[in-house]
Amino acid sequence: MKQMLYEKLIQYILENQDRFYRVAYSYTRHQEDALDAVQNAVCKALEAYKSIKKEDAIKTWFYKILINECLKMVKKRKGILLTEDISEQGEAYYEKGYEQDNDLEKELDRLEDDIQGIIRLRFFEELSLKEISYITGFNLNTVKTKLYRGLKKLKENMQEVDV
Amino acid sequence: MRKLEIMKKSYDNMCIPGELSIRVQQEITKSRQKQEENRNAVGCRRRKRILFGMETAAAAVCILFTAALNMSPVFANEAEQLPVIGGLARILTFRTYEAEKDDIAVSVEIPTIERIAEETKVTVDAINREILARCNQYAQEAVQRAEEYRTAFLETGGTPEEWEKHNINITVGYEIKQHGSDYLSFVVRGSESWTNACNESRYYNLDIETGEIVTLKELLGSDYIELVNRSIREQIDERRRAGETFFSAEEGGFSGISEEANFYINENNRPVIVFEKYEITSGSAGEVEFEIIV
């Protein structure tokens, strides 16, 4: 059975790698970091596949690992930023292929990191609130509050811009 | 928030660096090698367990197993999982093989349906022959595609070492959807690790009593197309309201099923229509399924 699970996991990874990259990129905003995060997550997942409880849990289980790796990358990058000249980085974060002239995207970026993450997981990855709660480690009600607070803020800020 | 939808679209269309699949494949290969080492270490124990499982099975079937099938871990797993004597028909791995040439790895697992009750005179040979031919053809074509890719890669300045790192994998295998007392439903899939363009899935639904392929028409009646379309449209509307996205008609979204629609029969004996990745919604959703409830 464990062997089947292993194969299922590999299949899942192969089929969804593009999604993983998108998630990683939306967290790290950096191609190299996103690739590193996905690779690390795949490596860790394959090592720890025995800890998956049920086959249907593969998705949330993997996302949890992935998000963890992304946050690690972001942290590392922030550490580097402090020592480097910040002005040099700035715009370079945005790469081609990712819409940046969208003002909503800018507004989204201004929200707190965990709220941004929740909004992205909910609307772009289309995960349920319960799944997000498991992945981020916040309890369900916290996820709800953060999501609605984030959306409200977005709406307010957008209206200012739209006028 | 329409803007959020636009953002979602540009998110879905984010360009994915080609390096991604190479690096993912690297990790998988690394992990597989490790697994292989571990397995060899416990190899003796494994084999014993397989033998034990066989003893408990009916002796006659046992002979068939050893005569017709390759002994492989995959097969051992399947045998563990399925009731040895269940319905009138069941599915077995007919042959598995793995090959590698020019750093193109091929792994094939071809299923075959076996009738347990011989006296029913129903044969499934034709279906088995079709599956076998299809699997072999897919594997052959996939290897050819990969070889063409390799030639192009080397001609445009790639080195054999770089090619090796691509870890091209071709997989043909099957997945059982339902193995109940009325129907046997399974899907045979072929895929290539380096492209999604040529993936192929073929669904087989068998009536266990007759050994015949079951069609949607037989399950749902002669106006099945209309029935299914209506049900899918309703479900799409419902799922849209719940936040899922589907392509609109202009974007090439759902426009009604054809007579050859892919489906399997689930454990409730209801047909489930399956749309391939990219067929009616963005690729990130993968395959999309609709259970048809009449």
Identify the bridge partners of residue B191 per DSSP, sorted by sequence position: B171
On average, the pLDDT of chain B sits at: 75
pTM: 0.44
A89 within domain boundaries:
no
pLDDT of residue A65: 92
What mean pLDDT do residues A10-17 have?
91
CATH number of the domain bearing residue A117: 1.10.10.10
Q: Are residues A110 and A61 in the same domain?
A: no
A155 touching chain B per CB within 8 A: yes
A58 or B120, which is more confident: A58
pLDDT of residue B92: 66
DSSP H or E segment with residue A111: none
Percent of chain B with pLDDT over 70: 76
Q: Are residues A1 and A80 in the same domain?
A: yes
A161 touching chain B per CB within 8 A: no
Residue B73 has pLDDT above 80, yes or no: no
What mean pLDDT do residues B115-124 have?
59
* B219/B294 Cα distance (integer angstroms): 10
**Smallest CA–CA separation between B259 and chain A, in Å?**
27
Residue A99 has pLDDT above 50, yes or no: no
Nearest 5 degrees, angle CA B153-CA B156-CA B157?
95
pLDDT of residue B116: 56
What six digits make up the tokens of A74? 């972001």
* Among B260, B152, B142, B232, residue whose Cα is nearest residue B193: B142
* B149/B18 Cα distance (integer angstroms): 14
Going by pLDDT thresholds of 50, 70 and 90, the confidence category of residue A13 is very high
Q: Containing domain of residue A136, as a range?
A: 102-163
pLDDT of residue A82: 59
Residue B72 has pLDDT above 70, yes or no: no
pLDDT of residue B96: 74
pLDDT of residue B94: 67
Over residues B126-174, the pLDDT tens digits come to 778 888 888 888 888 888 888 888 888 888 888 888 888 878 888 888 8
Asked which of A75-84, B14-23, B193-202 is least confident by mean pLDDT, the reply is A75-84
A82 touching chain B per CB within 8 A: no
Q: Are residues A10 and A77 in the same domain?
A: yes
A150 within domain boundaries:
yes
How many Cβ pairs closer than 8 A exist between chain A and B? 98
Q: Are residues A2 and A47 in the same domain?
A: yes
Count of alpha carbons within 13 angstroms of residue B3, beta-carbon side: 18
Going by pLDDT thresholds of 50, 70 and 90, the confidence category of residue B22 is confident
Going by pLDDT thresholds of 50, 70 and 90, the confidence category of residue B58 is very low
Q: Are residues A38 and A72 in the same domain?
A: yes
Task: Enter the ipTM.
Answer: 0.78
Over residues A70-92, the pLDDT tens digits come to 988 888 887 766 555 444 444 44
Residue A113 has pLDDT above 60, yes or no: yes
* A112/A138 Cα distance (integer angstroms): 15
Pick B31's closest partner by Cβ from A46, A104, A154.
A46
Over residues A124-138, the pLDDT tens digits come to 888 999 999 988 888
A97 within domain boundaries:
no
CATH number of the domain bearing residue A32: 1.10.1740.10
pLDDT of residue B1: 55
pLDDT of residue B43: 44
A18 touching chain B per CB within 8 A: yes
Q: Which range has highest mean pLDDT (A83-92, B84-93, B214-223)?
A: B214-223
Q: Which residue has the tokens 């629609």?
A: B261
Q: Are residues A31 and A2 in the same domain?
A: yes
Percent of chain A with pLDDT over 70: 82
Chain B residues with CB-CB distance to A158 below 8 A: 3
pLDDT of residue B118: 54
Q: Are residues A10 and A69 in the same domain?
A: yes
Asked which of A11-25, A26-40, B98-112 is least confident by mean pLDDT, the reply is B98-112
Q: Are residues A77 and A106 in the same domain?
A: no
Asked which of A110-119, A136-145, B275-284 is least confident by mean pLDDT, the reply is B275-284
* φ, ψ dihedrals at B201, nearest 5°: -130, 135
**Smallest CA–CA separation between A39 and chain B, in Å?**
6
* A84/A86 Cα distance (integer angstroms): 6
How far, in Å, are B184, B229, B238 from residue B272 at the CA level? 14, 12, 17
Residue type at B64? L
A95 within domain boundaries:
no
- Written in H, E and C, the secondary structure of chain B is CHHHHHHHHHHHCCCCCCHHHHHHHHHHHHHHHHHHHHHHHCHHHHHHHHHHHHHHCCHHHHHHHHHHCCCCHHHHHHHHHCCCCCCCEEEEEEEEEEEEECCEEEEEEEEEEEECCHHHCCCCHHHHHHHHHHHHHHHHHHHHHHHHHHHHHHHCCCCHHHHHHHCEEEEEEEEEEEECCCEEEEEEEEEECCEEEEEEEEEEEEECCCCCECCHHHHHCCCHHHHHHHHHHHHHHHHHHCCCCCCCCCCCCCCCCCCCCCEEECCCCCEEEEECCCCCCCHHHCCEEEECCC
Q: Which of A55, A84, A113 lies at the terminal end of a domain, its last residue? A: A84
Residue B5 has pLDDT above 90, yes or no: no
Residue B111 has pLDDT above 50, yes or no: yes
Residue B241 has pLDDT above 70, yes or no: yes
A44 touching chain B per CB within 8 A: no
Report whether A69 contacts B53 (CB < 8 A): no
Asked which of A85-89, B1-5, B36-40, B99-103 is least confident by mean pLDDT, the reply is A85-89
A93 within domain boundaries:
no
Task: Kindly report the length of chain B.
Answer: 294
* A163/B263 Cα distance (integer angstroms): 50
Which residue segments constitute the domains of chain B, with CATH numbers given? 215-294 (3.90.640.20)
A91 within domain boundaries:
no
pLDDT of residue B122: 60
Q: Are residues A23 and A77 in the same domain?
A: yes
What six digits make up the tokens of A147? 């999501």
Residue B48 has pLDDT above 50, yes or no: no
The SS3 of residue A99 is coil
Q: Are residues A63 and A13 in the same domain?
A: yes
A90 within domain boundaries:
no
Report whether B28 contacts A42 (CB < 8 A): yes
Identify the bridge partners of residue B173 per DSSP, sorted by sequence position: B189
Q: Are residues A6 and A63 in the same domain?
A: yes
Q: In what order do the strands lie in the sheet with B104-115?
A: B89-101, B104-115, B168-179, B183-192, B195-207
pLDDT of residue A23: 92
What mean pLDDT do residues B273-282 have?
83
Q: Which of A29, A49, A84 lies at the terminal end of a domain, its last residue? A: A84
On average, the pLDDT of chain A sits at: 81
Pick B23's closest partner by Cβ from A39, A120, A155.
A39
The SS3 of residue A110 is helix
Pick A25's closest partner by Cβ from B14, B31, B77.
B14
For the beta carbon of residue B74, count every other beta carbon within 10 angstroms.
17
Domain count, chain A: 2
Asked which of A42-56, B3-17, B24-38, B75-89 is least confident by mean pLDDT, the reply is B75-89
A1 within domain boundaries:
yes
Pick A99's closest partner by Cβ from B10, B80, B245.
B10
Nearest 5 degrees, angle CA B41-CA B44-CA B45?
95
Q: Are residues A76 and A123 in the same domain?
A: no
* B54/B76 Cα distance (integer angstroms): 10
